[in-house]
Chains A and B, each alone.
Chain A
Amino acid sequence: MGRVVSRIVITPPGALNLPRFRELWEAREIFYRFGARDVVLRYRQTVIGVTWVVLQPLVTAAIFAVVFGQVADLPSGDVPYFLFAFTGMMAWNLFSGVLSRSAPSLVANQALVSKVFFPRMLVPLSTMLSVLLDFAVSLVLFVVLLLVNGVNPGWAILTAPLWILCALVLASGLGLAGAALNVKYRDVTYVLPWITQVLLYATPVAYALDAVPDDIRWLFDLNPLTWLLEGFRWAFLGAPQPAVWQIWALPLTAVVVLLGGMLVFQKLEREFADVI
């Protein structure tokens, strides 16, 4: 019988091992199905169903407009504050959405992890699909807002995919490590919301970087999320271009974080089924 399938050899895992990328690719259907499941489940057994996808960012934006635009008087540079905050919110939701959904994902699917083999990495990674869907809806809304306000971001908009990708990669790296650690130490579930909250305040999401006092400005400049936010505003609002070193440092940091996350994940993965 002429079998064309390749043989699979299983040996005890080494100390540092990267995932088998071919296997990940072959199992991409799982990535897609998990993502679709998350989206479907969120709105199943709701009265207005898919309308929630559109309604959620819309209402959030409206709250933003009232609270920040009317009540608080925060500086936002040249653009209307509402647009300024909305861009920040889009970038932030992309990052924190992936992080906060991927970290508990393995534990939430523990029956699967302990009973069926598939590349486990796909569980945390697949959460990005539903986050991306939300992002896409916000983006459409945002384009409408740009037109209404007559803001033209200029050619910098071409860099937008880069920033989106960086946000995803950065969050996935942290999310992978978080998901893997959470299998053994459930504390991650409790600590992570605090960390994201602190990061939210430490990152110029709702305020402009100019509002930061000069003596602690260097602290903000060290935060990769600051680079991300500045990049987003440059691309989407035509805000001043971030420093060139930041444009280079962000993708680099993101890739390093992703690789680190993968290594942590792979290191802990061998005992998932035994300790989950």
Chain B
Amino acid sequence: MADTAISVEHLSKAYRIARSGKAPDRLTEALVARARRPFHRREFETFEALSDVNFDVPWGEALGIVGRNGAGKSTLLKLLTRITAPSRGRIDLGGRVGSLLEVGTGFHPELTGRENIYLNGALLGMSRREIRARFDEIVEFSGVSRFLDTPVKRYSSGMYVRLAFSVAAHLETEILAIDEVLAVGDAEFQKKSLQKMRDVAKDGRTVLYVSHQMQTVSALCTSAVYLDRGQLVHHGSVEEAMTAYRESFETFSAQQTDAARRPGTGELRLTKVAVEEVRDPADEMSVEIEIEANPELVGTYFLSCHVNDDHGTVVTQCDSRLVGLWLDPSKPQRVTLTVKDLWLKPGRHTLDVFVCQMGILDAWRGAAAFEVLPHLPYPELVVDEGVSLGVVFSDFEYETWGES
């Protein structure tokens, strides 16, 4: 057998969804149902969260797992960390898997920092001796040494997260699985964490990293798998996986131009959403929107336009009700939406446009996309550190008043 850190063969995970009515979740219901039809097996629809996934990960690799929401990333990680059992297939792990699925899960608010280090360490698979040996290192890394004997419920959320991360980061397992936790703490701590993760991989151990954040995946990982609807589409270099991931967004938006494939009742459909494709961060944005007519529709309707950034975060929601715009469905409409004073950060942005009345008539996600150029809307240039945080830029000013 090859000495791989992880070998996954024909791995599938199916969830059962009850077809008729709901599954009995009370014992009496289950018993009554069973008594009525003793040999009847409930009918289920199966939903394959992962199907027939195969890959090998050599030692010392940092593997990024990317994919859209619901692609099966977290399911894959849950299977690899043994939280849930596979339906089919085989996973062969070269050693213990430590997981950092959600920071602080194993923490109990009433226990002190010290007690939580021991409890959490044990949960993550460390022996008492291991924890004791690394105790000082953990405390130092987290920087909460002064509050070790305070119940963690009195910690600030930053301290809490730092301590939890430190425990997990000092795990000595051969494989370490992480689900988007690096987005915690202040910039300095994030940097420290990222470095720690790199050290782990350098040690010849293996890191699995699930994230939406392209930047961290590129910064941390040496290879990546790209999942799409439960299938492994790509396994190879990080760049290739990223390209595949980006393309999937384009395919998705291409499909969405076909109004019949979009969600919503369809009583009214958007016919056009257009925006300038390239812009500077502080430019005014104008979106042209056209909607068809439906004389049979009663009452008026409104629009809502969302601007999303690269990570899928909704940066702003422009709901026409807020500015008192209601449209008449009896004739086709042409609308121009102008957004002022919104300073977007460089990168790709997408627009989602919704046509709504009581419910949603048409939902067009990814209706248009545009690129914000990497120009800073500020008079001075600074190193990346000065602009790396935050979702948007803002128009700010400092005034000095001498000594206070």
A-to-B contact residues, CB < 8 Å: 1, 3, 5, 7-13, 26-27, 29-30, 32-34, 36-37, 40-41, 44-45, 111-112, 114-118, 181, 184-188, 191, 270-271, 273-274
With A29-B127, A186-B26 already in contact, 6 other A-B pairs whose C-beta atoms are closer than 8 Å: A27-B122, A36-B115, A112-B106, A116-B83, A117-B99, A185-B26
Q: Are the C-beta atoms of B110 and A115 separated by less than 8 Å?
A: no
Q: Are the C-beta atoms of A37 and B119 separated by less than 8 Å?
A: yes
With contact pairs A117-B81, A117-B97 given, residues A1 and B92 touching in the complex (Cβ less than 8 Å):
no
Q: Are the C-beta atoms of A10 and B90 separated by less than 8 Å?
A: yes
Q: Are the C-beta atoms of A116 and B108 separated by less than 8 Å?
A: no
With contact pairs A7-B93, A115-B83 given, residues A1 and B105 touching in the complex (Cβ less than 8 Å):
no
Q: Are the C-beta atoms of B26 and A116 separated by less than 8 Å?
A: no
Residues 133-153 of B, flagged 1 when their CB comes within 8 A of A and 0 if not, give 000000000000000000100
Q: Are the C-beta atoms of A7 and B94 separated by less than 8 Å?
A: yes
| Number of residues from B at the complex interface, CB < 8 A | 49
Q: Are the C-beta atoms of B119 and A33 separated by less than 8 Å?
A: yes
Name the A residues within 8 Å of B1 (CB-CB).
Answer: 7
12 CB contacts below 8 A, A to B, read A1-B59, A7-B94, A8-B93, A8-B96, A10-B85, A27-B122, A30-B122, A115-B83, A115-B99, A116-B105, A185-B26, A186-B26
Residue from the list A9, A45, A186, A188 in contact with B91, Cβ < 8 A: A9
Q: Are the C-beta atoms of B106 and A116 separated by less than 8 Å?
A: yes
Q: Are the C-beta atoms of B122 and A29 separated by less than 8 Å?
A: yes
Q: Are the C-beta atoms of A185 and B99 separated by less than 8 Å?
A: no
**In whole angstroms, what is the CA distance A10 to B119 when docked?**
26
Q: Are the C-beta atoms of A10 and B91 separated by less than 8 Å?
A: yes
Interface set, chain B 54-110, CB cutoff 8 A to A = 59, 78-79, 81-97, 99, 101-102, 105-106, 108, 110
Q: Are the C-beta atoms of B25 and A274 separated by less than 8 Å?
A: no
**In whole angstroms, what is the CA distance A26 to B125 when docked?**
9
**In whole angstroms, what is the CA distance A165 to B93 when docked?**
37
Q: Are the C-beta atoms of A117 and B82 separated by less than 8 Å?
A: yes
Name the B residues within 8 Å of A116 (CB-CB).
Answer: 81, 83, 99, 101, 105-106, 123-124
Nearest CB in chain A: distance from B390 CB, A: 29
- With both beta carbons as reference points, the residue of chain A lying nearest to B131 in the complex is identified as A29
Nearest CB in chain B: distance from A118 CB, A: 6
Q: Are the C-beta atoms of B25 and A185 separated by less than 8 Å?
A: yes
B194 located at the interface, meaning its Cβ lies under 8 Å from any Cβ of chain A in the complex: no
B204 located at the interface, meaning its Cβ lies under 8 Å from any Cβ of chain A in the complex: yes
Q: Are the C-beta atoms of A10 and B27 separated by less than 8 Å?
A: no
Nearest CB in chain B: distance from A17 CB, A: 10
Name the B residues within 8 Å of A41 (CB-CB).
Answer: 108, 110-111
Nearest CB in chain A: distance from B192 CB, A: 23
Name the B residues within 8 Å of A33 (CB-CB).
Answer: 118-119, 122-123
Residue from the list A3, A187, A274 in contact with B26, Cβ < 8 A: A187
Nearest CB in chain B: distance from A60 CB, A: 25
Name the B residues within 8 Å of A271 (CB-CB).
Answer: 84-85
Nearest CB in chain A: distance from B147 CB, A: 16
Q: Are the C-beta atoms of A1 and B86 separated by less than 8 Å?
A: no
Name the B residues within 8 Å of A115 (CB-CB).
Answer: 83, 99, 101-102, 105
